[in-house]
Amino acid sequence: MKDSIPASARPPAEAPPASKAPAGKTPRGRSLRQCMSDLHIWAGLLLGWLLYAVFLTGSVSYFRDELSAWMRPDVPTREAPADPVQVTGRMVGWLAERAPQAPQWGISLPSARSPGVNLFWLGDGPGRFMERRLDPRTGEPLSRRETLGGEFFYRFHFNLYYMSPITGRWIVGVATMFMLVAIISGIITHKKIFAEFFTFRWGKGQRSWLDAHNGLAVLGLPFHLMITWSGLVTLMMLYMPWGALTAFPTRADQMRQQQVITGFRLPAPRSGHAAPLGDVPAMVAQARNRWESQGVGRVYVNNPGEAQARVIVLRSIEGQVSVSPQYLVFDGTSGRLLEQHDTTRPAAETRGGGGLIALHEGRFAHLQLRWLYFLLGLAGTGMVGSGLVLWTVKRRVKLPDPDRPYFGFRLVERLNIATIAGLPLAMTAFLWGNRLLPADAGQGSSGGAPLAEGTVHGLDRLVAAIGGRAEAEIAVFFGVWALAALYACLRPARRAWIELLAGCAGLLALTPVLNALTSTRGLLPSLRQGDWTFVTMDLGLLTLAALMGSLAWRTARFRPKTKPARKAPAAARATTRREAASVTTAGAGKKAETDSRPAPSSAAKAGTGTAVAGTGPEATTTHACTPAGAPES
């Protein structure tokens, strides 16, 4: 009966109820972990090369004072810093003689890690700071060798170079935000993250790179989170200034806020009432007696020689788990104590993010803790580098023709080589530039031997044109890095990896030899004299040389395995057999017609045989084993 009802008269069939997405799934069927995996990949890749450079230079910066000492071998190592009261008196006399009209003087006193005195003063023109580094005992220049030393890597870590500091900080800040997103999404992606920490499969290609990436990430996960978050907090007023601008709308309010956060005070406008400067060393002595445990770190003199002169004495931040300033303000003429800002209440210790900034910079850390900072920083560097390499390793096996990859793959691969292998090479070249450039290059005198006088004078003029010896060392760094990037683009990828890693290993291994040839503080003399800064530096360079050499050796030994061609599905194989059988039957049906025709030439026979064989299963299998795009034989 039902079949007799016309189809047009039947009621429409009810649509089946829409199936709900399983719990934890997005409407399109992708789980949260899958979405976070994509976010993790792209957040880490897009700015991964910059993050690698920031991590590596930041890790080295934990020993920037020791690196600066190694780059000034003519400065002797002293067991204890000079007395701050005597040093202050000597430096005030030096500034009064050479910069009497400056509206502000600054004195950064020596410490156990940094034996020199840094002086600065405001020169002619707004915001123009002049700086000198002097011997605290003699008042003479600390070293003839003009260099930024480890300070260059510290500044590059968050300012970059050859651009304004604000621009560099914005670029690094955006990269740091990407890093924070990559870390959090990586935690969500790897649900067995701690189990994966204890898993490493050696020599398994992509799986080994993934295990290394996971292990390095979990090894320092609390450190990676802390260092990334605190790096953003360090410059929070730059990235999110609106709250502060609302709370402190006027320029005067903002200056008072900066005073509270940093302890730095710009000098007031000159009054024109001259008055002799008071006994600044006595003011420093009063502050030192008040802070017996830590002592004095810096001294500022505002408007010296005027009646409204002020002397600000800041407490040293060494051993202090906060960089929130503690300071005293004295009347510059009478020496009377005007203000006291040296309380240690919890609110004072944490205001302005001082605790997080101190955690990021590690200024409070003793030697063993700084080594831990350094090693965890290298683990973060390895985490970023292994993630970049993993991206190419994972996608190489999916390429239709690995010998001719698409442009995006080639770009990522060359950037990986230029950054992961090229940056350590450039940093080592920076050390070589420090030793090979004449100590007084760019200062108007060469001091070279008569036979090389023309060459030395030419080098001296070149260094002076660049901007001085310190700038010439930095030019060596960027020049070698640019050459490494060009080399990575011109050579086959595998050869570029091997050669740049091996070149870096060779330079690192020869750096202690170069140090022994260009100074009196080689490895053996330093061991005899107990000069542990130079001993540790040379041994560290040899250790890094062994690491880079092992990477080059393993890269040279590695041979990617060719994946065998997958067998065709059973249905496809059956179809192929039927096609072959039909070809055979058709050939038999035409046999009589073929026999009645003249016999073809041998070449024609070969061509016919090839055509028939090309349709058979054996030919299909052979073609599947041939790489796509390979020339036919």
The pLDDT of residue 200: 64
The torsion angles phi and psi of 276, rounded to 5 degrees, stand at -70, 145
The pLDDT of residue 346: 52
User: Which of these ranges, 22-26, 157-161, 356-360, 466-470, has the smallest mean pLDDT?
Assistant: 22-26
pLDDT at 379 over 50: yes
Residue 546: pLDDT band with limits 50, 70, 90: very high
| Of 124 and 30, more confident | 30
Average pLDDT of the residues in 568-596: 50
255, two tokens: 């200056």
Q: Please provide the average confidence, as pLDDT, over all residues in the chain.
A: 80
pLDDT at 248 over 80: yes
Residue type at 105? W
Residue type at 228? T
What are the Cα distances from residue 491, in Å, to 129, 402, 478, 487, 503? 46, 16, 20, 6, 14
Give the integer Cα–Cα distance in Å for 105 and 299.
Answer: 8
pLDDT at 600 over 50: no
pLDDT tens for residues 423-443? 999 999 999 999 999 887 766
pLDDT at 502 over 70: yes
pLDDT at 447 over 70: no
Give the integer Cα–Cα distance in Å for 473 and 12.
Answer: 82
The pLDDT of residue 548: 95
pLDDT at 210 over 70: yes
586, two tokens: 């058709």
Highest mean pLDDT among 8-12, 127-131, 627-631: 127-131
Q: What percent of the chain has pLDDT over 70?
A: 76
The pLDDT of residue 79: 63
Average pLDDT of the residues in 283-305: 88
Average pLDDT of the residues in 85-99: 91
What are the Cα distances from residue 432, in Å, to 476, 510, 511? 9, 10, 7
| Total-model pTM | 0.78
The pLDDT of residue 30: 76
Highest mean pLDDT among 169-183, 184-198, 383-397, 520-534: 169-183
Residue 141: pLDDT band with limits 50, 70, 90: confident
Average pLDDT of the residues in 556-572: 58
The pLDDT of residue 630: 35
Paired residues of 300 in beta bridges: 106, 312
pLDDT tens for residues 148-185? 999 999 999 999 999 999 999 999 999 999 999 999 99
| Of 118 and 2, more confident | 118
The pLDDT of residue 139: 83
The pLDDT of residue 159: 94
Give the integer Cα–Cα distance in Å for 121 and 105.
Answer: 5
pLDDT at 556 over 50: yes
Contacts of 562 (CB under 8 A, 6+ apart): none
User: Which of these ranges, 214-223, 233-242, 249-258, 300-309, has the smallest mean pLDDT?
Assistant: 249-258
477, two tokens: 């760094």
The pLDDT of residue 578: 54
Paired residues of 315 in beta bridges: 296
Residue 583: pLDDT band with limits 50, 70, 90: very low
- Cβ contact 338:329 at 8 Å: yes
The torsion angles phi and psi of 502, rounded to 5 degrees, stand at -65, -40
Average pLDDT of the residues in 350-368: 78
The pLDDT of residue 570: 52
591, two tokens: 């046999």
16, two tokens: 């089946």
Neighbours of 21 (CB within 10 A): 13
The pLDDT of residue 463: 83
Average pLDDT of the residues in 575-604: 49
456, two tokens: 């030395």
The pLDDT of residue 446: 37
Residue type at 293? S
The pLDDT of residue 579: 52
Average pLDDT of the residues in 450-473: 72
Give the integer Cα–Cα distance in Å for 326 and 260.
Answer: 9
pLDDT at 220 over 80: yes
pLDDT at 105 over 80: yes
The pLDDT of residue 82: 79
The pLDDT of residue 433: 95
Residue 404: pLDDT band with limits 50, 70, 90: confident
The pLDDT of residue 14: 52
Q: Output the CA angle 125-126-128, nearest 5 degrees.
A: 75
User: Which of these ranges, 63-72, 78-87, 145-154, 351-360, has the smallest mean pLDDT?
Assistant: 351-360
Highest mean pLDDT among 172-181, 214-223, 307-316, 326-335: 172-181
Give the integer Cα–Cα distance in Å for 415 and 485.
Answer: 7
Alpha helix positions (H), 47-83: 48-61, 64-70
Average pLDDT of the residues in 77-89: 81
